[in-house]
Structure 1
């Protein structure tokens, strides 16, 4: 049985961590299945929703596998290679389509690192967010020093790691870990609603939003403006001309904040 479920609903791929008996803890087998699902979504879908089966999104690293690796029961590769978590999470964060994460229950350690690879995050009232690595004698290894720190800041991440305390949905919203909070059991429905709305954008525009914005954020002021100009001056596809004409002619669908 695959450790990651996959379903295509129109232009939206639904990707579910499917190891509920282990609270969707991440081991190498799950990472391999997640990579396959993400690459499939890149080809088939315009937007993807990432969620967890069972009562938790993801409890992070599979500690039994980590212990086996630390005690030599799992042999390291002969040559150094890129961390498989970094590779797969980057396929989510900087691939061709946006990802919306639906979060509930435990979103801790590697689970939080995975969630932060998504572009929009929704949680329900059961969600708890944390970085317990410090209490396990280990350090973050799934890109958290980059993704989480750039969102919440060094002091917040340092506090989470040093104390091991868990953030509730209100605190996660305050620290920009999530953008939307919903009642219990409604995170996936809200994520699907947002994905449908995102999917109405052009594929090209969505690609620029998720790939250009984070890179501009890493640049100096002048270099950022230069990259913006390069991208805004790109040749526009025929779909863009049609959308602009519909707006000018008063035929474009009006958007409201509460519309899906």
Structure 2
């Protein structure tokens, strides 16, 4: 018999590696995958030192909802201001491991992607949304403020005015509108998100590893920098990557006419 105690004792995330893809499943469906400290600690552990054979990760959810946000029962249990500050900084550190980790991360979204769930999704590099997905930042209605990096990452995806609207009025975006404004890059039918995510992961894995690493660590910093600094970083990383042995091999294949053609190009 399934009881609340059984569900509470179940590991909050499940992981496995298939074909060089690290699959990370949020496994608190009875709580709409609300993120508690145990779940965040498990994410921290797996993303701090991903399996050596993993070249890309996919975060997805068990059940009908990707993540309904932070588990507010833990927020209410915080004893003082310093404890709250440390808790927010803990979220920042862990989500930084997604955005600036050693491998690309895809988030496969379905159902609720609210509050901390949207903060988690915004730290991923690619977001695939099923049509059941809906997005919201309900912290304003709870009398609180985002604390997991959402005020930094989400405006970069959709702009400050839209984030202001979501936080002030409780506006919710559906999957179609979410993709149109930049909350996801892909929109797929329900229950097909993981399949799409795996297909994208295989494409990402086919890139040179050094190039993927530069996409993760250099490209966001170029965007955040001034033009002069950004162009210098671009020159440095372009020079570095093209002189890597794997890049030289790939360029030779291209020049010899043996490289895979870009979609739509023949001859």
Give the TM-score range, shorter chain.
over 0.9
Q: Which runs of 5+ in 2 are unaligned?
A: 1-9
Q: 1:189 to 1:75 in 2, by over 3 A?
A: same
Q: Distance in 1 between matches of 2:207 and 2:51?
A: 16
- Aligned residue for 1:136? 142
- Aligned residue for 1:8? 17
Q: Are 1:241 and 2:257 an aligned pair?
A: no
Q: Which runs of 5+ in 1 are unaligned?
A: none
Deviation at 1:183, TM superposition (A): 0.8
**Alignment partner of 2:257 out of 247, 250, 256:** 250
**Alignment partner of 2:236 out of 230, 235, 238:** 230
My pick for the range that moved more, 93-102 or 232-241, is 232-241
Q: Distance in 2 between matches of 1:86 and 1:141?
A: 8
**Alignment partner of 2:182 out of 176, 186, 195:** 176
Which TM-score applies when normalising by structure 2? 0.90
Deviation at 1:44, TM superposition (A): 3.4
Deviation at 1:202, TM superposition (A): 0.9
- Aligned residue for 2:127? 121
**Structure 2 counterpart SS, 1:126:** coil
Q: 1:30 to 1:185 in 2, by over 3 A?
A: same
Which TM-score applies when normalising by structure 1? 0.93
Q: 1:75 to 1:173 in 2, by over 3 A?
A: closer
Q: 1:78 to 1:166 in 2, by over 3 A?
A: closer
How many residues align? The count is 254
State the superposition RMSD in angstroms.
1.9
Deviation at 1:123, TM superposition (A): 0.4
Tell me which stretches of 4 or more aligned residues in structure 1 moved more than 4 Å.
74-82
Q: Distance in 1 between matches of 2:147 and 2:85?
A: 18
Deviation at 1:254, TM superposition (A): 2.1
Q: Distance in 1 between matches of 2:190 and 2:86?
A: 43
Query: Contact (CA 8 Å) 1:17, 1:53: kept in 2 or not?
Result: yes
Query: Contact (CA 8 Å) 1:42, 1:97: kept in 2 or not?
Result: no
Deviation at 1:52, TM superposition (A): 0.9
Q: Distance in 1 between matches of 2:88 and 2:173?
A: 31
1:193-208 mapped onto 2 (5 Å cutoff) = 193-208=199-214
Q: 1:42 to 1:87 in 2, by over 3 A?
A: farther
- Aligned residue for 1:52? 61
Q: Distance in 2 between matches of 1:192 and 1:100?
A: 9
1:157-176 mapped onto 2 (5 Å cutoff) = 157-176=163-182
Deviation at 1:143, TM superposition (A): 0.2
Q: Distance in 2 between matches of 1:138 and 1:198?
A: 38
Q: 1:208 to 1:58 in 2, by over 3 A?
A: same
Query: Contact (CA 8 Å) 2:88, 2:147: kept in 1 or not?
Result: no
Deviation at 1:234, TM superposition (A): 1.5
